[in-house]
Amino acid sequence: MEQEKDFLVRKVPGYLALEFINQTLPKSSRLMCIWTGAYGYYIDCKYYSDTFVEDVTLKQFIHASANGRELSQKLIQAGFTHLFLNFSILEKNMEDRGRAIFDEFLRERTHELFRYQNYRVFEIHLQ
């Protein structure tokens, strides 16, 4: 018989990232999930799954921001501490202005905690 974890890794996209989230992030974390599928039931901390049109909420935050610092402030004010995303899909669905703001945000206002295939987990920093 196959072990449960082996099955989940094989069948649930990004499962190793979900496992990392549950084992590493504080239970007080508030996670925004973008393009990660409907697997939130595997997450132990509070999360928001941006799944209506997959990234509409994140794009609203980006469009309301002038730069990466402002995007960070808006996400933190909304209560988010971390992002969990499928980076390659998100990147394909961003326009140039939004991508520039988001890239600055990732570079200057986050810390990448985990990467597996296309899945990444970032901690958001205000400073």
pTM comes to: 0.92
φ/ψ region of 33 (left if φ > 0, alpha if ψ in -120 to 50, else beta) reads beta
- 16, containing H or E segment: helix 15-24
- Given this model, what pLDDT does residue 110 score? 98
**Do strands 30-34 and 46-50 pair parallel, antiparallel, or not at all (unpaired)?**
parallel
- Given this model, what pLDDT does residue 28 score? 96
pLDDT over 90 at 7, yes or no? yes
Confidence of residue 50 (pLDDT cuts 50, 70, 90): confident
- Given this model, what pLDDT does residue 33 score? 95
pLDDT over 80 at 69, yes or no? yes
- pLDDT higher at 127 or 15: 15
- Given this model, what pLDDT does residue 59 score? 93
pLDDT over 60 at 107, yes or no? yes
Across all residues in the chain, what is the average pLDDT?
93
Percent of the chain with pLDDT over 70: 96
pLDDT over 80 at 51, yes or no? no
Q: How far apart are CA 110 and CA 18, in angstroms?
A: 19
Both tokens assigned to 13: 């996209």
* Chain centre distance of CA 35: 8
Confidence of residue 54 (pLDDT cuts 50, 70, 90): low
Strand order in the sheet with 110-116: 46-50, 30-34, 82-86, 119-124, 110-116
* Structural domains of the chain, with CATH: 4-124 (3.40.50.12610)
